[in-house]
Chain A
Amino acid sequence: MPEILSYDFMRNALLAALLVGAVAPLVGIFLVQRRLSLIGDGLGHVALAGVAVGVLLDNQPIITALIAAVFAGVAIELIRVRGRTSGDIALAVMFYGGIAAGVVIINRVDGSQSSNLTSYLFGAITTTSTGDLIVFGVLSAVIIGVTLALRHRLFLAAGDEEYARASGLPVMALNITLSVLTAVTVVVSMRVVGLLLISALMIVPNAASQQVARSFRSATLWAVLFGMLSAVGGVVTSFYADTAAGGTIVLLAIAIFLLVAAVAALVTVATAHRHRVSERHPHEHGPGCGHEAVPHGDHVDYVHGSHLHAPHGGHYDEHADHATYPGATDPSDQEHVTR
């Protein structure tokens, strides 16, 4: 057994990291879609006020943090729906009021050298008890269940709110659900990466997955994979390198993003020859357009004179390398040959 697994607290830490690494990007993709990437940060600020109240009452800070974050999550949607410019200011007041109150109360109770405060702001994963782990596990299961069940609806409400409303979906309820999911994710992640870094774990794996994915579904799966990789990798690294776990996790997530972006750029360059844009087209190929359609792996090529056109986004790629007729002449001469 590797050394890291011989400690109880490290086993708990790894399990907590695995949960958070999966849950945070899963919810985060909808925030990215709605261009609300920083909402998680705001909810984290408010959660600190909840933690403070818990510390003050000598109660479970997780429960009070959950109440505060969920309350703020619902408030965000209610403020947003009124669509006033003052709504933005109301959110700022709520977020900074939350973190300021949190700092003041915790310092008042624990004294100014409070390690409690830093542990909530930047995470303290190695203090995860088995009891915490059970709470995280239950909350994570709820997040995953709700998100998976509603993923298509959340996708539509986030992508095209007006159409979702026109087709009769309860858009307001879906938006509040997403807000509450975000709030619960924030609280689950609080001990792992800390309230100030939570947003990073929700967003950065998604930034990486957008580089490789072609569909929403695959983007979600990649993001969860990158999230778990950074979270578990970060905990392991921090154990051996003796660094702060929360910060290490986020740095690793950023490293993965940079690596994936670099690889994606290289692949684009390397496959550029497959992506020669064909001559400008007077018509769009399709079933029955008069050009023979040739299935070709993951796409369809259209025989156009002596060369092949592969639909690629809004244009056609010249797929001369699998042309059935070698020795194609200048493509532009072939324009209307088959018509």
Chain B
Amino acid sequence: MRVTAVHQDSPLRGAPPAIRLDHASFGYGGRPFTEGVNLSVAQGEVVALLGPNGSGKSTTVRGLLGLTDHIAGSVEVLGTPLQDLADRSRLGYVPQRHTLSSSVRSTVREVIATGQLASRPWWRRATAADRATVTEAADTVGLADRLDSDVATLSGGQQRRVLIARALASRPDVLIMDEPTAGVDAANQVVLATVLRRLAALGVTMLVVTHELAALRGIVDRIVEMDAGHVSFDGTPRQYAEHRAAVSRAADAGHHHHYDVHHHDDEHDEPSGVLLSGAGPMDGPVEDGES
């Protein structure tokens, strides 16, 4: 991928944040739904965006892609104000959906290749390098051997990975994923987590909307939580675990529960778990970042 590997604690000197929202508000039909959202994602950082259904996660990330109305505040992508961003292919997008359209036959290769369309003029054909990138993207998500399969025959988890590969095919600087692990069984979540870990190791900046934090354990550098259109938490995974524990203690106290039985969120505190051991059968060798 094009991105250079950088880490949260050693930000590229002078590099603008990949994404910066300052009092941003997005909505529909001119009416704001999210308000006063402040959010900054450094280059190379992996941020998880959490929150209950309807809290405005999709509204926010789709706003970054110009799919929801940008109503107020400032939004910058890679240092460029959103409205001046000419080259949208710098943002890779994996929409919140479970399956691909199956009204007509299409192969994995054909679907992934559509990720490159916007970055070249309509009269120019795909070059050999473009085709190689498609193969490479399929390889990154572990579907290199299915390039010529009909996408309709793939499982839900595999289709999610096709969508990720499509987003990678334009060699984006930032990858925005809306619930990549939703509706995917445990075994396939492990495969997806492997893919995301591989991308993180390549230094790809990621903003991942999810309800399944456990599946992303060890990959995520920072957690942002939204509630009712506002950011309600922003911090490290460890701080988030403390935040959740405090919230649930407060709730327990309020409801006169036994507080010692409500520690279901403690798992986020562990730095690594069984999913990250690297010994699972899905753990292919993580490619080193080149190209």
Per the bound structure, the CA–CA distance linking A282 and B100 in Å amounts to: 24
Q: Which residue of B lies closest to A215 (CB)?
A: B107
A298 touches B148 (CB 8 A): yes
B110 touches A216 (CB 8 A): yes
B103 touches A33 (CB 8 A): yes
Looking at B33-41, B238-246, B262-270, B281-289, the stretch in contact with chain A turns out to be: B281-289
A166 touches B104 (CB 8 A): no
- Contact partner of B67 (CB less than 8 A), chosen from A152, A166, A215, A284, is A166
Closest chain B CB from A161 CB (angstroms): 10
A286 touches B144 (CB 8 A): yes
A33 touches B104 (CB 8 A): yes
A57 CB–B CB distance under 8 Å: no
| Number of cross-chain contacts by CB at 8 Å | 134
A217 touches B148 (CB 8 A): no
Q: Which residue of A lies closest to B93 (CB)?
A: A166
A159 touches B101 (CB 8 A): yes
**Chain B residues in 8 Å Cβ range of A289:** 281-282, 284
Residues A250-289 near B (CB distance < 8 A): 282-289
Closest chain A CB from B59 CB (angstroms): 14
A286 touches B118 (CB 8 A): no
**Chain A residues in 8 Å Cβ range of B170:** 167
Q: Which residue of A lies closest to B126 (CB)?
A: A152
Q: Which residue of A lies closest to B139 (CB)?
A: A287
With A167-B118, A311-B145, A313-B154: A283-B105 Cβ-Cβ less than 8 Å: no
With A152-B117, A216-B106, A282-B281: A166-B88 Cβ-Cβ less than 8 Å: yes
Per the bound structure, the CA–CA distance linking A312 and B158 in Å amounts to: 12
Q: Which residue of B lies closest to A33 (CB)?
A: B104
- Contact partner of B149 (CB less than 8 A), chosen from A32, A35, A284, A311, is A311
Per the bound structure, the CA–CA distance linking A167 and B113 in Å amounts to: 13
A322 CB–B CB distance under 8 Å: no
A214 touches B107 (CB 8 A): yes
A284 touches B150 (CB 8 A): no
With A155-B114, A283-B282: A167-B88 Cβ-Cβ less than 8 Å: yes
Per the bound structure, the CA–CA distance linking A159 and B105 in Å amounts to: 11
**Chain B residues in 8 Å Cβ range of A219:** 104-105
State the B residues within 8 Å of A (CB).
62, 65-67, 87-89, 91, 93, 95, 100-101, 103-107, 109-111, 113-115, 117-118, 122-123, 139, 142-146, 148-150, 153-155, 158, 166, 170, 187, 191, 281-282, 284-285
User: Can you pick out 15 interface pairs between chain A and chain B where the beta carbons lie within 8 Å of each other?
Assistant: A32-B104, A160-B114, A167-B117, A215-B105, A215-B150, A219-B104, A285-B145, A286-B142, A287-B139, A287-B144, A289-B284, A299-B145, A311-B149, A312-B153, A314-B153
